[in-house]
Structure 1
Amino acid sequence: MAETALPPLRPALRLWALTGLLAALSLVFLFWHLRGPTGFILSLRATRLAALILVGAATGMATVLFQTVAANRLLTPGIVGIDALFIFLQTALVATLGGLGYALLPEFGRFLAETALLTLAAAALFGLLLRRGAGDVTRMILTGVILGVLLRGLAELSQRMLDPSEFAVVQQAMFASFGSVPSGALWMAAVVLVGAAAIAMVLSPALDVAALGRPTARGLGLAHDRLAIAALMLVAAMVAVSTALVGPVTFLGLIAAALGRVLAGTYRHAVLLPAAGLSGAAILVAGQFVFERLLGLHSTLAVLVEFFGGLLFLALVLNRRSA
C-alpha cells in the first residue's frame, strides 16, 4: 500500500505557527524566574521585550523589501554603510561634547536627531543607487562597502584621539544594546515601525510583480520606479529607527529574511514580509533570553548574530557562485 504524503502547511497556518512561537517565547521571557518586586521587573522586561520585537520585525521586513527592489537575496540594508554612519555619529558626539556631555544629552532628543540624520542619509543613498541602476548588484555592494569603510576609517581616526574613558563610551555604543531603551523613544519607534510595516503590507501585491524584474514588471503595467522609491523610503525609515533605538545589528536582517523565505513556503510578500518579521523578532527574543537569563551574559547576542549572519552571507555568496 503506497504511503500518502502529508499535505504541506498553508501559508496562513505557517504564520499562525510563527506567531504562536513568538508569543510563547515572549511569555517565557517575561515570567521566567520572576521574583521580588514583580511590577517593577515586569515593566523593565516588557520594555526590553518590545524593543526586541520591534527591531527584529522591522529589520527582517526591511531586508525583504530591499532584496526585492535590488533583485538580489545577498543584500541587506546594513551593508550600505548605515551602521558605519551611526558609529561615526556617536564618535563625533563624544569627541565634540566629551564623555560627560554625551551622557547628559537627553535620550529622546538624541534619538530624534539620530533617526532624522540616518533616515536622510539612507534615503539619499538609496535614491542614488536606484537612479544609477538598482539592478547593478556589484555597484550597489561596492558603493555601500566603500562608504562604510570611509566612515569607519574616520571614526577610528577620531577614536584614537579620545581619552580612554571617552573611548569606552564610544565602544559601548558600537554594539546593539537592549538593556536601556528610553520608553519615550520606544513609543515613537513603535509608531514609525508599525506604520511602515502596514504600508509595506499594502504594497505587497505590487511587490509580487516587482519581484519578477523591472522589465517584466513594467511590461505588466507596474510603475516599477515609483514603487521602488516608495519601498526604499520604507527601508530607510525602518533601518534608521531600529539603529537609532538600539544600535547596529548588520546581518540580523539577512538571517531573518532567509529564514522567513524558508518558513513562508511562498514568494507572496503578503506572507513573506510577516514571516521575515516574525523570524527576526523570534531570533532576538530567544537569543536575548538564552544569553541574559540562562547564561548570565549581556553583550554576546549582537556579536553572535553578526557572526552567524556573516557566515550565512558567505554561504549565500559561495552557493550563488557555484550555481
Structure 2
Amino acid sequence: MRGASLILLAALALLLACLAFLSLGARGDWGFVLMFRGTRLVALITVASAVALSTMVFQTLAANRILTPAIMGFDALFLLGQSGLVFILSGVGVAMLNPYLKFGLETGVMLVAALALFGALLRRGRGISRMILTGIVFGILFRSLTQLLNRLIAPSEFSVVQSASFAQFTAIPANLTWVAAGGTVLVSAWLIAQHRRLDVMALGREAAMSLGVRYDRQARQMLAAVALLVSVSTALVGPIVFFGLLVSALTHHLARSWRHALLLPLSALVACTVLVASQTLFERVLHLQTSVAVVIEGLGGLVFLAMILRRRKS
C-alpha cells in the first residue's frame, strides 16, 4: 500500500513539473509552444529514465550503492570518440555529419565496447568485481588518450570537444529524441519486468544460483540493457556521471524497500521530476544561461562524498 502511494505521489509531482515546464513563460501560438517544448520534455524524460534505471540495476548487480555505470568508463569512451572525430574530420566536418549517423556511431561504439567487456569477464563465473576494476582501468586509458588527442587538436577546434564534455539539455536534436525514446521505453519495460529476478540476484551470486536463477546469463543480459541505456543517454545529451547516484540515494531514502517492483519505477519518476523541475527552475524562473547539468552533477558529487563519509563512520 505504501509503495503504491509513493508511486502515485511521484507521478503527481512529475505531472506538475511537466505542466510547469510546458506552460511557464509560454507566449504565442500554443501549438508551436507545445510541439517545441513537448519534444524537449520527451528528451528530458528519456534521459532521466535511462540514467535512473541503469544505475539502479547496476548497483543491484554490483551489490554497492555508491557505484554507477559511469565507473565503467562510458563517459571517457564518449569523450575519446568526440576528440577522435574532431581530430580526423575537424570541427566543421563533425558539424556536417549526419546526426543519425553520428548518434548511431556513438551508441554503437559504446555498446560494442561494453558487451565485449561484459562477455569477456563474466564468462566462466568470473565476478563483477573484476569487471568493475577492469572498467576503471579502461576509463583511465580512455582519458589519457583523450588528453593526448586534445593536445594535437587545433586550439580553434578544441571548443567542439569542450562543449561535448558536459551534458547539454537545451540543444537536444528533435529528430533523435524519438529514436532514443523508443529504444529506452522498450529496454526499460523489459528491465521492470525482470524485477523478481533482480530481487533474487540482489542476494548474491551463490544465493541466487541456489534458488534456481541462472545468474551469469541473467547478469550479462541485464548489463547489456544497462549498457544500451547508458549509451543512448550519453550519445543524446553527453556524459552524466553523478546524476544517477543522486537519484538512487533519493529513491532508497523514499522507498526504504528492497523490492525492485517499487525501486525501478520510483527511481524513474524521481529522476524525471528532478531533471524537469530543475530545467524549469533554471530556464523559466531564474533565467540563467548556465547548464543545469553542472548543478545536478555537483549535488550528486556531494551525495557521493556524504555516502563515503557515512560508511567510514559506521
Shorter chain as denominator, the TM-score bin is over 0.9
Given that residues 79 and 144 in structure 1 are in contact (C-alpha distance below 8 angstroms), is that contact kept between their aligned partners in structure 2? yes
Alignment of 1:61-140 (within 5 A): 61-131=53-123, 133-136=126-129, 139-140=130-131
User: Which residue is 1:245 aligned to?
Assistant: 236
User: Which residue is 1:175 aligned to?
Assistant: 166
**CA separation in 1, counterparts of 2:36 and 2:156?**
28
**CA separation in 1, counterparts of 2:299 and 2:310?**
16
**CA separation in 1, counterparts of 2:298 and 2:142?**
21
Report the more deviating stretch, 58-67 or 151-160.
151-160
Q: Give the letter aligned to residue 161 of structure 2.
A: V
- 1:55 to 1:231, Cα distance in 2 relative to 1, 3 A: same
Cα deviation for residue 74 of structure 1 reads 1.4
Equivalent residue pairs, number: 313
Correspondence 1:277 to 2:268: yes
User: Which residue is 2:36 aligned to?
Assistant: 44
Correspondence 1:31 to 2:31: no
**CA separation in 1, counterparts of 2:142 and 2:9?**
41
The sequence identity of aligned pairs, in percent, is: 47
Cα deviation for residue 231 of structure 1 reads 0.9
User: Which residue is 1:20 aligned to?
Assistant: 12
- 1:126 to 1:313, Cα distance in 2 relative to 1, 3 A: farther
Q: Give the letter aligned to residue 229 of structure 2.
A: M
Correspondence 1:296 to 2:274: no
Report the more deviating stretch, 100-109 or 261-270.
261-270
Cα deviation for residue 88 of structure 1 reads 0.7
- 1:190 to 1:207, Cα distance in 2 relative to 1, 3 A: same
- 1:315 to 1:144, Cα distance in 2 relative to 1, 3 A: farther
Given that residues 30 and 42 in structure 1 are in contact (C-alpha distance below 8 angstroms), is that contact kept between their aligned partners in structure 2? yes
User: Which residue is 1:157 aligned to?
Assistant: 148
User: Which residue is 1:210 aligned to?
Assistant: 201
**CA separation in 2, counterparts of 1:299 and 1:226?**
43
Cα deviation for residue 171 of structure 1 reads 0.8
Question: Could you state the TM-score of these two structures normalised by the residue count of structure 2?
Answer: 0.94
Post-superposition Cα deviations, 1:43-91, rounded to whole Å, max 9, x if no partner, equal: 2211111111111111111111101111111110011100010011011
Cα deviation for residue 135 of structure 1 reads 4.8
Gaps of 5+ in 2: none
Given that residues 11 and 265 in structure 1 are in contact (C-alpha distance below 8 angstroms), is that contact kept between their aligned partners in structure 2? no
User: Which residue is 2:309 aligned to?
Assistant: 318
Given that residues 56 and 284 in structure 1 are in contact (C-alpha distance below 8 angstroms), is that contact kept between their aligned partners in structure 2? yes
Q: Give the letter aligned to residue 20 of structure 1.
A: L
Question: Could you state the TM-score of these two structures normalised by the residue count of structure 1?
Answer: 0.92
Q: Give the letter aligned to residue 149 of structure 1.
A: I
Q: Give the letter aligned to residue 51 of structure 1.
A: A
- 1:90 to 1:75, Cα distance in 2 relative to 1, 3 A: same
User: Which residue is 1:5 aligned to?
Assistant: none
Taking only aligned residues, the RMSD between alpha carbons, in angstroms, comes to 1.6
